[in-house]
Amino acid sequence: MKFEKKDLENHLVELIAETDQNQFNQYKSIAARKISEESKIPGFRPGKAPYDVIKRIYGEELIEERAVEELINVIYPKLIKEAKINPYGPGKLDEIISKNPPKYKFIVPLEPVVDLKDYKNVKQAYKLPKIHKKDIDLLISDLQTNYATAEDVTRESRDGDLVAIKINALLTNPDKDEKADVLNDTPHQLILGEHKEDEQFPYKGFMSQLSGLKTSDIKEFDHEYSKISPYENLQGKNVRFSIEVQSIKELIKPELNDEFAKIVGVESFENLQQSVRDQLETNKRNEYENEYFDKLLDKITKKATIKYPPEMLEAEVADVLNNFEKNIAQQNLDFDTYLKINNREKDEFISKDIKPAAKKRLEQALLLEELSRLENIEVDQKELQSEYSKSFIQMQSSPDYKKLQKKLTTKKMSDALAMQAASRILHHNTLDRLKQIANGEIEESDEINKEKEIDSEKNLSNDL
């Protein structure tokens, strides 16, 4: 078999293979026999009809099509081996160049290739944010609010009150063909004075307009949105608001003591404070590490060379899109409705939102896979067993557990859990090693070990 090899863009290879005409004729005979075996030809047992009879009934073209399939199944694996390439997945027959002699063109996707360059020189300090007493107090205050009782009041509203309102809002100078309505009898409630720094709707600082009002009061005022407002359709525009107070309730909060802690489900107020601290530390660490590793991986990705075929990105795009659709389904939205609400076209949304996210996720995954190989990251069996046990307990408590039992055998379920557990541990250990490198921890420990070796050698020479 003769072949030509040509590297294409996008990590693809073109292979043109030429086989012997006699070999192709042999496969035409094999194809004709298989057609005979699959069909009922009068006067002949399955597989025994002569070639000319099959050709007369089914035509030369069908026999040749089946012969090509049979021949490719045999020559393609040999072609890949002789061409010395590592395919990512099955290639495709791109063109039948000629039938005499038989000449075929294949396009083959290659396995991804990652060169991390000098990744060990990429540095980024790792500094976990501290948890302050005010953070703990704020979260406990939110808990206290959740367990508060609400009583209607006739006085003017003040900080700490739960105020329910109805909002109407209009653009004062709408553009041509732009609807003036922004909000129409939209219900909204908030606790005055709480979480001012997080206020977003309908704009930051809105709650200040509600202080000093009474039930049934109506208040009108204007607000000009900044040019960097998170509401893109309102950036730089003036909006006239009209709010009507529906109710004002004073919140009677329970005292912060051991009794309150027991209501929450903790033995003492001291334990509640510790529990809140632990929760905040976990949340802050997760939030910090997500941002930390995202920035660090971006730095390494920019310096690295990462090559992969289009099929890999297409699969990643499909997976990211599928996850997105599942997420909005939890909000009782289907994909088409989401696109209509946000005035987006499907192709444009996939191209601008889904594809960049998929590309980033794919490249970071390939980068981490190569890093784990270079750094010889392994999975400890005790750690794997512990992670597997946690996963199994969580799965048993899942509402879908019985459905999984019906679909999968115990062994398949166990194997899948073990694979997922091992993957999570490997991912965690790889990120941990990356942090040690970027934060200079490995270099520091290496220097300490070198100093110990030097001291040991000095001591030995002194003894001698």
The CATH number of the domain where 227 resides is what? Answer: 3.10.50.30
* Counted domains in the chain: 3
Residues 157 and 217 in one domain: yes
Beta strand 12-18 with 181-191 is: unpaired
403 within some domain: yes
Question: What are phi and psi for residue 205, nearest 5 degrees?
Answer: 100, 0
The pair phi, psi for residue 200, each rounded to 5°, is -130, -35
Q: Are residues 15 and 91 in the same domain?
A: yes
Q: What is the CATH number of the domain that holds 30?
A: 3.30.70.1050
The residue out of 252, 269, 285 marking a domain boundary is 252
105 with 154, same domain: the answer is no
Reading phi first (left if > 0) and then psi (alpha if -120 to 50, else beta), residue 409 is in: beta
Residue 174 lies in a domain: yes
The Cα–Cα gap between 140 and 163 comes to 21
Residues 169 and 87 in one domain: no
The pLDDT value given to residue 385: 86
Residues 168 and 248 in one domain: yes
List C-alpha distances in Å: 430 to 119, 374, 379, 424, 425.
13, 10, 10, 10, 8
CB 169 within 8 A of CB 202: yes
Q: Look at residue 351 and tell me if it is in a domain.
A: no
Could you give the CA distance from residue 275 to residue 263 in angstroms, rounded to a whole number?
14
Within this chain, do residues 453 and 386 fall inside the same structural domain, yes or no?
yes
Whether 14 and 103 map to the same domain: the answer is yes
Q: Are residues 23 and 90 in the same domain?
A: yes
* Within-domain flag for 9: yes
Task: Please say which residue of 235, 252, 269 terminates a domain.
Answer: 252
Residue 231 inside a domain? The answer is yes
pLDDT for the residue numbered 445: 47
Given 252, 285, 300, which residue is the final one in a domain?
252
Tell whether 106 and 164 lie within a shared domain.
no
| Residue whose entry in the numeric block shows the structure tokens 């939209």 | 186
| Residue from 26, 18, 21 nearest 82 by CA | 18
Does residue 273 lie in a domain region? no
Nearest to 412 by CA among 395, 436, 429: 395
DSSP 8-state symbol, 288: H
Provide the whole-model pTM: 0.73
The predicted pLDDT at position 464 comes to 45
Start-end of H helices in 233-380: 258-264, 269-303, 310-329, 335-341, 346-349, 355-374
- Is residue 355 a part of any domain in this protein? no
Look at residue 451 and give its three-state secondary structure: helix
Domain range for 182: 149-252
179 and 98 in a single domain? The answer is: no
Question: Is residue 276 situated within a structural domain?
Answer: no
Given a contact cutoff of 8 angstroms between Cβ atoms, the answer to whether 155 and 136 are in contact is no
> Going residue by residue through the chain (464 aa), what tens digit of pLDDT does each one get?
889 999 999 999 999 999 988 888 999 999 999 998 888 888 888 888 899 998 999 998 999 999 999 899 999 999 999 999 999 988 999 999 988 889 999 999 999 999 999 999 999 999 999 999 999 999 999 999 999 999 999 999 999 999 999 999 999 999 888 889 999 999 999 999 999 888 999 999 999 999 999 999 999 999 999 999 989 889 999 999 999 999 999 999 999 999 999 999 999 999 999 999 999 999 999 999 999 999 999 999 999 999 999 999 999 999 999 999 999 998 888 899 888 878 889 999 999 999 999 999 999 999 999 999 999 998 888 888 888 788 777 777 777 766 666 666 667 767 777 888 888 899 999 999 999 999 998 764 454 444 445 455 555 455 54
- 22 and 92 together in one domain: yes
State the Cα–Cα distance between residues 20 and 6, nearest whole angstrom: 22
Query: Which among 232, 184, 224, 181 is positioned nearest to 204, based on CA atoms?
Result: 224
Q: Over the chain, what is the mean pLDDT?
A: 89
- Are residues 464 and 397 part of one domain? yes
